[in-house]
Structure 1
Amino acid sequence: MQEVRKIIHIDMDAFYASVEQRDHPEYRGKPIAVGGAGKRGVVATASYEARKFGVHSAMASVLAYRKCPEIIFVKPRFDVYKQVSRQVREVFFEYTDLVEPLSLDEAYLDVTENKPQVKSATIIAQEIKQKIKQVTGLTASAGVSFNKFLAKIASDYQKPDGLTVITPKEAPAFIDQLPVSKIHGIGKVTAHKMHELGIFEGKDLKSWDRFALIRHFGKSGIFYYNLARAEDERKVNPHRIRKSVSVENTYTEDIQTKQGVYLQVEQLAELLLKRIEKSHAYGRTLTVKIKFDDFKQITRSKTVAYLITSESQIREIAKEIIEQAQIEDKAIRLLGIGVSNLDPVGVGVQLTLFSSVIE
């Protein structure tokens, strides 16, 4: 008989905002948002006091102000958030080395076999939550189940400071009543399409056969079919391979000229190279992302036969991509560049350019 896995998903509660409220007593109990307060600012994280007004992450700051006029915007301090994140991960490693970070504030842990040799994953989750509070002064929510999908859903079920356990016996009934919009991996567009097809909850999704879901949702249909049956064989992977490195900037004033775009590319190339060197993530594909003032967005990529390792290479390839994108007479509000198609080993011998592909 196959051993039932014990997976925990830990998610810090309103992480950036909670750090700011911890470090600044004057923010406690007040609606705050970490992010940019300007007319083109975006909310990175909102405190629970702000969420009561409908403010959430990725919301435009102007809309956040309309929903909550008394909201306080706080500039992000990523160096502090990273330091706190390291403290949290040190707690994780007291229990298992099978830790898969998803971001600074959340991670999966496989505690099927664990260092303290505690049989109950629920007890481990309780201890982790307590230690995080002791070490950082912050609360975290935990989900405990037998696969990653359910653990992720469970951690969000009783936020903040929650602990939800979904056993194999409880899973079918839990999924049956779960709105499809709450299923991790189903976004707004897909949820809307499902609603149009009469799929509102897990039990509705379960009533569809695999081929019908594939017909409507492509390969993702297989994923949805399995989730409706609580099937998720993904392992907790402590060695996730980085797929890309990128930088971008949203400008307070639109870039109106191609010369202005090239000037911003110079600055972004410098920042990108620093990230590349820091992560040792050298790649062969450069991508440029452009969002215009009407919010239409394009991405263009070029793949070369050598590893991109210098600022001048980034600049030259990016400018070539922009030249072919034909952006004349279009005002630009966001510009980003990134590298992908990464070399898993590191910097190899640069080859002579023999081909390139514009996508």
Structure 2
Amino acid sequence: MSDVRAPRRTTATGGAAVAAVVAAAVLVATVVVAVTIGPAALSPADVWHVVATRLGLGDVLGHAAPDRLVDGMVWQLRLPRVLTAAAVGAGLAVCGVVMQALTRNPLADPYLLGLSSGASLGAACVLVLGATVLLPVAAFVGATAALAATLLLAAAAGRGAGAGTGGLTPTRTVLAGLAVSQLAAAATSFVIFWSAKGDQYREILSWLMGSVAGATWTSVAIAGGAALVLGTLLASTGSMLDAFTFGDTAAAALGVPVARVRWVLLVGVALLTGALVSQSGSIGFVGLILPHAVRVLTGARHRALLPLSALCGATFLVWADTLARTVFEPRELPVGIVTAAIGAPVFALLLWRGRARS
């Protein structure tokens, strides 16, 4: 039996590696092409010229100093925005995979724990106060507070029911997240109704719909650093997430400390989502759709699903943001509108395909 299974496992691993290399190449090409798209047309050579010069490789490669206007468009405006979108898309996709595995809920996404509503409440508070510079900090604090409230509520409900896994079961976690989300959403609406004036409505609405229009290299550092560190840690838990697929009992039988792992992974998802949302606002459907779409291609094995979802999520959000800033030029759409417009029909198609197969 082992002689039969080994080649299949090797073939599957090799196929996943090839798919990851292709997805990475597509992402790199997407970043370069997206930077060239805009009111002032640039070429990939212009992008490479500016990046090489900024990285100190201009003299080595024999490049002359790039035009100052081109340098400003690439390095100060477009590249930070594109890289931030890629980091946010990758992180949200990874969080979506983890949440769907932990809760065994195909409709789960990174915002299931009330993180988006908590971040929105924090953002709305600082926007109505005029302290825009504190928006990322307030959004992160709001998301973290929502996480704490959700986990404490789920654990308390479990203790009251006499649960044996610390009370943090998938059902209780989802229900607690919905309760916290609704409460935070109501508080956000109250803050807007009671305090917002003039252009504050537009600022808050734009943030709630999600946007990376104001991304800087600080945004790249925060979103990219969180996606690289926390996303890599989450992506390394593929084997444990495979065990959770069959339920808590099966995972415990395979030696997984269910309660501890669930707490750690939920906190990791929350911290990563909070960091991303603080830079981009609430961008929906990425963490919900991408895992399902990639799962159609790779199957349910999380070792392949997690990295491929990250790469595809990054590519998807870069193109979505490119559409958001160019389709109705010179006006821009919040990228959350584009992801919803694409994600809802795609999700319906995936549901239809699943029904047809079953």
Same fold, TM-score > 0.5, yes or no: no
TM-score w.r.t. length of structure 1: 0.25
Greater strand fraction, Structure 1 or Structure 2: 1
Question: Which structure: larger Rg?
Answer: 1
Greater helix fraction, Structure 1 or Structure 2: 2
